[in-house]
Structures are given as C-alpha cells and as structure tokens.
Amino acid sequence: MISFSARHTPLSGIKTDVVALFIPQDKKLLKDQMVILEQLSPGITDAVASSAFHGKNKDTLTLFPARTPFRRVVLIGLGVPGELTPETLRRAAAACVKVVNGLKSKSLAILQPAMKHITPESSANALAEGILLSSYRFDKYLTVDKERQTLRTVNFICAQQAGVSEAGKGLHLAEIACAGTNLARDLANAPANEIYPESLTRRAQAAGRHSGFTVKVLNENRIRSLGMGGLTGVSLGSNRPPRFNIMEYGPRRSKVPTVVLVGKGVTFDSGGISIKPAAGMGEMKMDMSGAAAVIGTMAVAAQLGLPVHLIGLVPATENMLGGSAMKPGDIITHLNGKTSEVDNTDAEGRLILADALSYATRYKPDLVIDLATLTGACVVALGSVASGMMGTAQERMDQLKAAGERTFERVWQLPLFEEYEQQIKSDVADVKNVGGRWAGAITAGLFLKKFIGDYPWIHLDIAGPAIMEEEREYTPKGGSGVGVRLLVDFLRHWKDN
Ligand code: BES
Ligand code: ZN
Ligand code: ZN
C-alpha cells in the first residue's frame, strides 16, 4: 500500500527520502524549477546544467545533494512542453518509481509540475495513477526472489495553497480507480485453480461488502431452469458448476441513468472439444478479464458514490472438454428463445454473453456495455494498443472514445455492416457461432447484436489490451485491468443531451 497526501509547504521543512521534479524539455522551465532547490543546495543548478539531462522524455537524473533534509533529488524528463498530456505524466511517474525503488527509498515528495493546460487535480491524478499502476505486482505465489518495492508514502507538494484541495481530489480519485484496476488485475492473473466460477462469485461478494454493492447469484439449476442455454451449454464439459452473478449499486427509481455492464467470465478457456493448441493456453486463465473489469468498475463506482444505477452481470463458467461437453453441431436455445448452432466450441464467449445480454433487458437500461476477451481476430486487428468497439449507440460510443483518450485505455470502432451477417447464417438455427476467417471481431459483434434487447448497446472486445505479453510503462506483464478506468471516466462524464 502506498499512501498519498497533498500539501503546500516549503521544501526545507519536508522530511522525505527523495524529492522528484518533473521537467519539460525547456531550458527556462528547467531553471525555474531549480530555483527552490538551488536555495537549499547551492550549486545544484550547475550540476544539472553540466549533466546530459535536458528534460527529454524518459530521461532521468539522480542527484545526491549535500546538506539538504532529503538525500536524493530525481529529475524526470517530460519531453516537449507542447506535447504534454496526462499520459506523459503517468509514464514519467512510472519511471520515477523505478528510480525510487532502485534507491531503496521509502518516501517521495513530488514538486507539482508547472504546466499550463493541466490542472493541479489532473496532474496529481495522473502522477498517482502512474505510481499506483506501475507498482502493482502479482507476486503472492512467489516464495523466493520476490522483487522488493520500497516506496510507501508520496507527498504532493503544491506550488500554491489554492491547489492543495484540488490535488487532493485528484489523488483520492486515483487511489480508488487504481485499487479497482489492481483488483481486476488480481482476478485476471490468478490461476484457474484459484479463480473458477464459484470462487469468482466469492471474490465479487467480498468486493461488494467492501465497496458497497450487492451481489445476487444464480446457481446451476436456476441458470438452466431460466433457460440460459448458452451458459449451461458451455459449462457442460467442466466439473465446476457455472454461476450467473448480478451486482447492483445505486439508487433505484431516481433520476439517474441505469447502466448495465456485462463481463465475459470464462475462468478458463481450453477451447472445449474444438480444443486450442497447447502453446500459450495458460493465458486463457485470463479469459474472465471482462468480468474482472466489471467487478472492478462496480467497486470504484460504489466507493466514489457515482450518480448512476449500475448493474454488473457476469456469466461465469469454465470451457472444458469431457464426456458431457458441448459438441460442434449442437444447437442451443438462449434466454430470449433464439437458437444458435455451435460450429466451434471455442467461440464460447458469445454464447454466454447472449444470455446475459438478453437478461439485461429486464432493467430497461439507458445503456448496456459488454466487455469480453472475445476474439483473437481483434488482437490481429488492433494488437494490445486498443480495444475493438462496436455497437448501436453512436453518441455514447463517441463519449466512450473520448474517455479512452483521457485514460489512455483507448478504443477503436469497427463497423457492424449488415453485409457481414451472412457469414453467421446457419441452415439449422437462427445464427451460427462462428463466421469464418475474415472479420472475426465483427462477426462476433454481430452475433451478440442478435441477442440485445430494446436498448442502446456497446460491445468492447478487450482481448488485446487485457492481456499484456510484455511489460509497458505502467502496466506489468499479465492482466492489465483494462476497462476499469475507462468505464469509471465514462460514467463520471455521463451527460444527457
Ligand atoms: N478467449 C478466446 C479469444 C482470445 C484469444 C482472447 C486470444 C484473448 C487472446 C475466444 O473464446 C476464442 O477462442 N475465440 C476464437 C473464436 C473463433 C473460434 C471463431 C478465436 O478468436 O480464435
Ligand atoms: Zn474460446
Ligand atoms: Zn474465450
């Protein structure tokens, strides 16, 4: 746990191991920032001037000033001032954390960067996000060689008293949103012998108790008797029973929008009878990343008290092989009565989402957003840089795209042109669960569209960004927790026209 505070105090009175300055690539700005330090440690400006540090993006410089109350000063470059965004700060903060941990330091004081178009709230928020997200490790199963992270407290030093409460707000928001993201990461990274449908339910219940949302659970019999043929069918090959989780937060029947989030909760995807190749199959423990994002978002929304009636639906199952497993050619009847032909048991996500999207109708929602690690095709199209976005609610999609730019959990829209529909036509059922080689992310989206109710809908295929194959600036390898900050930002900026 890293704790944060904001204050306006002279640097000379601060007890900290490290002082960090975030500096744009600009000689004058560098000099301005150094003025306070120069007073405490005369000659330090010259030391910087004669170094190779010019504030270039990703540059860092560690100084060991004499006779100051702090042992180290770290300068972190931000690059060209005109190109500065909150994302620059997240990445720079992550670089700073690396240096601080390298110095084995516990406490850090950050001087508020002087920036024209970024408010103290926003800069404090972005820096705290970079710190909290980059400090995450999934190391609970490591009994030896645990990487030691020393950073514990961060003090955000504001240039003016007036900025303190604003900065404090930014820090508070970052703490809650990043806790939600890191919860989603924990759920995704946990192996399938830890997270299976029943234990995922327990984790959602624990999050609900902690954050303030309710969890109602439908068991195997209820799922079957209600007619959720997709969730039932996919679960047949597994010894572990499925669960349908219904999370709810917020005021009913008051003047706030009702938003339903649906998350794919396949706790392990072997492919079923249409089995996947062995190489990389272990990654499919993260096939519940959509569910993880929904649980994380519920937690954040409840903790922030967002003015929204939020429902989270998580159909959870394993996709396994066995004597009673679903077979290619099987025909399933979904909750809304429509039938689908299972041409490939590895296209299981859409089968369980179909039931959940039908279930969502009963809430008469203003918007339904589903998140799913749905197709490898979407990873081929967009890599891990952006999630595929499809849907029927263009204005909401534009707003979600804007939230994606702000949070840097970016989304990119793909078309649901009706021409693609013929690829999922079936001779024997209303729809077929695979659409051939081309436009696989889109035919998956069109499959889902057949099961939506009379509500605006957005589908996010997060298969790429949810699973980090390599570490990024503030995203360690593994589950990224993508979706939580995106949805929270989107809901915070919700507006009705
Ligand atoms: N869970 C996978 C999709 C996936 C692939 C997620 C890679 C994350 C990384 C999904 O259930 C799946 O297997 N989809 C198939 C669909 C195909 C059979 C039409 C795929 O993408 O290959
Ligand atoms: Zn699959
Ligand atoms: Zn899957």
Q: What is the pTM of this model?
A: 0.97
Lowest mean pLDDT across 19-33, 277-291, 370-384, 482-496: 19-33
Among 72, 243, 285, 350, the one annotated catalytic:
350
User: What average pLDDT does the chain have?
Assistant: 96
Return the pLDDT at 253: 60
Supply 471's token pair: 């570490």
Query: pLDDT, tens digit, for every residue of 104-123?
Result: 999 999 999 878 889 999 99
**Is the distance from the beta carbon of residue 464 to the nearest atom of ligand 1 less than 6 Å?**
no
Q: Per-residue pLDDT tens for 397-418?
A: 999 999 999 999 999 999 999 9
User: Exposed (0-12), middle (13-18) or buried (19+): which is 36, by Cβ within 10 Å?
Assistant: middle
Query: Which atom of ligand 1 is closest in space to residue 344's alpha carbon?
Result: 18
Q: Are 84 and 76 in contact (CB under 8 A)?
A: no
Ligand 1: residue whose CA is nearest its atom 7: 376
Which tens digit of pLDDT belongs to each residue from 166-182?
999 999 999 999 999 99
Average pLDDT over residues 332-340: 98
Q: Give the 3-state secondary structure of residue 74.
A: strand
- Say what the pLDDT of residue 497 is: 66
CA of 470 to the centre of ligand 3 (A): 21
Q: Is 472 labeled as catalytic in the residue annotation? A: no
Is-catalytic flag, 276? Answer: yes
pLDDT at residue 147, as a whole number: 84
In the chain, DSSP finds a helix count (H) and a strand count (E) of 15, 20
Distance between CA atoms of residues 67 and 18, nearest Å: 14
318 lines ligand 1 (CB under 6 A): no
Angle at 79 between CA 77 and CA 84, to 5 degrees: 110
Predicted confidence (pLDDT) at residue 350 exceeds the cutoff of 80: yes
Residue 215: how many other CB atoms lie within 10 Å: 21
- Distance separating alpha carbons of residues 215 and 203, to the nearest angstrom: 10
Instruction: Please provide the DSSP assignment of 144-209 as one string.
Output: SSPPP----EEEEE-SSGGGHHHHHHHHHHHHHHHHHHHHHHHHHHS-TTT-SHHHHHHHHHHHHH
Q: Which amino acid is at 207?
A: A
Quick one: average pLDDT of 7-12?
90
Strand extents, DSSP E, 358-483: 367-372, 387-391, 411-413, 431-432, 457-461, 467-468, 478-479
**Token pair recorded at residue 40:** 């405490």
252 pLDDT exceeds 70?
A: no
- Angle, CA of 4, 6 and 10, to the nearest 5°: 125
What pLDDT is stored for residue 29 in this prediction? 85
Q: What's the rounded mean pLDDT across residues 195-206? A: 98
Instruction: Taking residues 188-201, report their average pLDDT.
Output: 98
In the chain, the percentage of residues whose pLDDT exceeds 90 is 87
The active-site residue, picked from 106, 276, 338, 401, is 276
| 230, pLDDT greater than 90 | yes
Measured in whole angstroms, the distance separating CA 345 from the mean position of its chain's CA atoms is 27
Tell how far the Cα of 434 is from the centroid of ligand 2, in angstroms: 11
Residue 490 has pLDDT above 90, yes or no: yes
Q: Which residues of 412-426 are buried (b: 16+ CB within 10 A; e: fewer)?
A: ebbebeeebbebbee
Query: Six-digit token pair at 232?
Result: 């039932």
Give the chain's length: 497
Q: Mean of the pLDDT values across residues 462-479?
A: 97
**pLDDT tens digits, one per residue of 290-305:** 999 999 999 999 999 9
> Residue 11 and residue 109: Cα distance in Å, rounded?
9
Q: Is the CB of 377 under 6 A from ligand 1?
A: yes
pLDDT tens sequence across 353-396:
999 999 999 999 999 999 999 999 999 999 999 999 999 999 99
Is it the case that residue 14 has pLDDT exceeding 90?
no
Q: Is 287 in the pocket of ligand 1 (CB under 6 A)?
A: yes
- pLDDT given at position 335: 98
